[in-house]
Amino acid sequence: MSAVPAGRKRGARAEVPITKDAIVETAFRIIEERGLEAFSMRSLATELGVFPATLYWHVGDRSCLLGLVEHRWIEEVVLPDECTDWRDWMLQLGRRYRAHALAHPNVARLATIERARNVDSLVIPDAIVGKLIEIGLDRDLVHAYNAIMGAVRGFVLLELSPRSEPDAESDVESDLRNLDEERFPNITAQFDRLGDHALSMRWSNGVDRPLNDSFDFLMSLLIDGLAARLPVTRP
Amino acid sequence: MSAVPAGRKRGARAEVPITKDAIVETAFRIIEERGLEAFSMRSLATELGVFPATLYWHVGDRSCLLGLVEHRWIEEVVLPDECTDWRDWMLQLGRRYRAHALAHPNVARLATIERARNVDSLVIPDAIVGKLIEIGLDRDLVHAYNAIMGAVRGFVLLELSPRSEPDAESDVESDLRNLDEERFPNITAQFDRLGDHALSMRWSNGVDRPLNDSFDFLMSLLIDGLAARLPVTRP
DNA sequence: ACCTGAACACCGTTCAAGT
DNA sequence: ACCTGAACACCGTTCAAGT
C-alpha cells in the first residue's frame, strides 16, 4: 500500500503511530496473504511506511517478531468445554487446532516448524496434561502427551506442506500420473484412490484438498489406543 | 577449507573437477555440520573453490539442489525384511526412519518441511501401501496410510525441532522452571516428569535427549489401532 | 522515546565473456 | 561443455544522528 517513507524529516514521527501490535498484525497479514517468502523486515517496513530500523526498536529482530506472530495465532485456539467426555474433548481440541491451522496455513506452518519462543503458548499443553491425569493416565503420562502432540501437530504440518510450488502443480501431477509401474507397483495400482489424496502424492495443497477423514481416522486411532491403556475402573 | 577461487584464468577448469555428486555431497556436509542457516549457494561455492555461477550450471538453483540433498538422505533408509509379521515390519520401518533422522537431523528437518521434489523418494510410501493392502485394509487404505505417514514423520520432525537456539538453552530452561502455577497448574505440578522430556517443554534438542519411549508408545497406538480395524479373518 | 538515513556484510540469480 | 567475473536486486542488522 504505502510506499517508502517519503521525505519525512530526520527523526520525525511516522504519520500513523507505529505500535508493537500494528507491526505484528501487518506481519501476520503479509505472511498469510503473500506467503512467508514474501515477508521480510524490509517489505514489512515499506508496508508500514517506515524505515527498517524502526521495527528493531519496537519488536527486536526478525526471530522475535516471528515469535510474536506465532503467538498471536496459537492463542486464538479456544479450548473445548471442560465438562464433556474426555474422548470428545480430545477430538474437539484436535479438530479446532487443525481448523485454525487450515484457516491460517502459512502462519501455522511457521509456528510448527520454528521453535515457539513464547512461554504463553503452553495453555494447550497444560490442558492436555491435565486431561490425561484426570482420566487416570499416570505411568505413561509423558509418552501419551508426546504421542498426541507429535502426531496431531505433525499430521497437520505435513497436510499443509504441499509437494509443489503453486506454479508447478501440473508438472507434479503429470510426474505422479506417469510413475514407473515396476518401481512403484502398489501406488500405481491404487492411483485412483491415492492420487491427490495421500501424503507425498498430492499436487493440490492442503487447503484446497483437506484430508478431513484421514485426520479423524488418526484421532480415533489415538483416542482408542489411549482408552485401551487406561487403568480399569469399576463403575 | 579452500578459499575463494584464487586468480584462475577466465574460463579455466577448476583444479578439482566439479561434479553434481560432489556438489550434493558437500552441501549435505555443510548442512549437517554447520546447520541449514550456514548453508548458502555462495558458502558452498567457496567451500568447493569455485564461483557461485558454476553451481547453477551443474544442479540448477538452490531449490533443486536442496531437493537432491533430501533425496540423498531418504534413499539411505532400507526397508525391513518382507517376510516378518506386519506389526514388526511397521515398527521396524518407523524405527529405521527415525534413527536415520536422528543421525542426520538438519537434513531430515529440511526433507520433512520442504516438499520432496524427487519422485524417487516414493519407495517408502509404495512399500507402506503394499503392506496395508497385504494385511487386508481396503476401505480405509488412504486414511491408514495418511495417519501413519503424518503421525510418524510429524513426530520425528517435532522431536528434532528444539524450542531454543543452542546458545539460549539456559534461558529457556529457567523460563520453563519458573512457569506461573496459576496459569499452568498441570505442567508445574508434573514438572519433574515433563521438563526436558515433553514436546514444547524441552531445552535440550532432540538429538541430545531423544524421545525413544514416546516414539514406541506412538507406534504401538498406531499399530494396535490398525489391527483392531482389520477385517476379521478366520484362521 | 522514537525515527531517519546510511552503512556493512551478506544473499540468490543471471549473463556475457572467456577457454 | 564448463567456468569466470561482474552485475542486479535483494536481504538482516547496527548505529550515529536527528527531533
Instruction: Give contacts of B 116-175 with A, CB under 8 A.
Output: 116-117, 119, 121-123, 125-127, 129-130, 133, 140-147, 149-159, 161-165, 175
Residue A96 has pLDDT above 60, yes or no: yes
DSSP code of residue A81: P
Supply the pLDDT for residue B70: 93
Mean pLDDT of all residues in A134-155: 97
Supply the pLDDT for residue B6: 54
**Residue A51 pLDDT grade (very low, low, confident, very high; cuts 50, 70, 90):** very high
The answer to whether some atom of strand D lies closer than 7 Å to the beta carbon of B13 is: yes
Q: Which residue among A143, A162, A199 sits closest to B149, beta carbon to beta carbon? A: A199
- B200 vs A154: CB contact, 8 Å cut-off? no
Distance CA A226, CA A135 (A): 10
Mean pLDDT of all residues in B24-28: 97
Instruction: Check if the beta carbon of residue A9 is closer than 8 Å to that of residue A1.
Output: no
Residues in chain B: 235
Q: Is A166 exposed, middle or buried (0-12, 13-18, 19+ CB in 10 A)?
A: exposed
Supply the pLDDT for residue A161: 83
Which residues neighbour A40 within 8 Å (Cβ) at sequence distance 6 or greater? none
Residue located via cell numbers 531437493: B67
Residue B169 has pLDDT above 90, yes or no: no
Supply the pLDDT for residue B3: 44
User: In terms of CA atoms, which chain B residue is nearest residue A149?
Assistant: B199
- What's chain B's average pLDDT? 90
Supply the pLDDT for residue B2: 42
Q: What are the tens digits of pLDDT across the range B180-199? A: 999 999 999 999 999 999 99
User: In terms of CA atoms, which chain A residue is nearest residue B227?
Assistant: A221
Least reliable range by pLDDT among A25-34, A114-123, B48-57: A114-123
Q: Which region, left, alpha or beta, applies to residue B210 given φ > 0 means left and ψ of -120 to 50 means alpha?
A: beta
Mean pLDDT of all residues in A192-202: 95
Task: Give the rounded percent of residues in chain B with a pLDDT score beyond 70.
Answer: 87
Supply the pLDDT for residue A17: 74
User: In terms of CA atoms, which chain A residue is nearest residue B129?
Assistant: A186
Nucleotides of D under 7 A from a protein CB: 1-7, 10-19
**Residue A21 pLDDT grade (very low, low, confident, very high; cuts 50, 70, 90):** very high
- B186 vs A126: CB contact, 8 Å cut-off? yes
Distance in Å, alpha carbon of A6 to nearest chain B alpha carbon: 34
Residue B1 has pLDDT above 50, yes or no: no
Chain B contact set for A123 (CB, 8 A): 183-184
φ/ψ of residue B7, rounded to 5: -40, 70
Least reliable range by pLDDT among A115-129, A179-193, A207-221, B184-198: A115-129
Mean pLDDT of all residues in B68-88: 93
Give me the domains of chain B, ranges plus CATH numbers: 1-60 (1.10.10.60), 86-229 (1.10.357.10)
Residue A90, Cβ neighbours under 10 Å: how many? 22
Residue A120 has pLDDT above 90, yes or no: no
Which residues neighbour A171 within 8 Å (Cβ) at sequence distance 6 or greater? A164
Per-residue burial over A58-74, b if 16 or more Cβ lie within 10 Å, else e, is ebeeeeebbbbbbbbbb
Amino acid found at A5: P
Q: Which residue among A130, A151, A163 sits closest to B186, beta carbon to beta carbon? A: A130
Supply the pLDDT for residue A12: 60
Q: Which residue among A143, A221, A228 sits closest to B217, beta carbon to beta carbon? A: A143
Ordered DSSP codes for A85-137? -HHHHHHHHHHHHHHHHHHSHHHHHHHHHSPP--GGGGHHHHHHHHHHHHTT-
Nearest protein residue to nucleotide D12, judged by CA and C1' positions: A41
Mean pLDDT of all residues in A108-114: 85
Mean pLDDT of all residues in A19-25: 96
Where is pLDDT greater, at A69 or B82? A69
Distance in Å, alpha carbon of A214 to nearest chain B alpha carbon: 4
Distance CA A176, CA A201 (A): 7
Residue A7 has pLDDT above 70, yes or no: no
Q: What are the tens digits of pLDDT across the range B194-230? A: 999 999 999 888 888 999 999 999 999 999 999 999 9
Mean pLDDT of all residues in A54-71: 95
Q: Which residue among A116, A144, A146 sits closest to B163, beta carbon to beta carbon? A: A116
Task: Give the rounded percent of residues in chain A with a pLDDT score beyond 90.
Answer: 75
The answer to whether some atom of strand C lies closer than 7 Å to the beta carbon of A46 is: no
Helix A62-74 to helix A52-59 angle (10° resolution) is 60
Q: What are the tens digits of pLDDT across the range B103-158? A: 999 999 988 877 656 667 899 999 999 999 999 999 999 999 999 999 999 999 99
Which B residues between 78 and 137 have a beta carbon under 7 A from any strand C atom?
Answer: none
Mean pLDDT of all residues in B164-171: 69
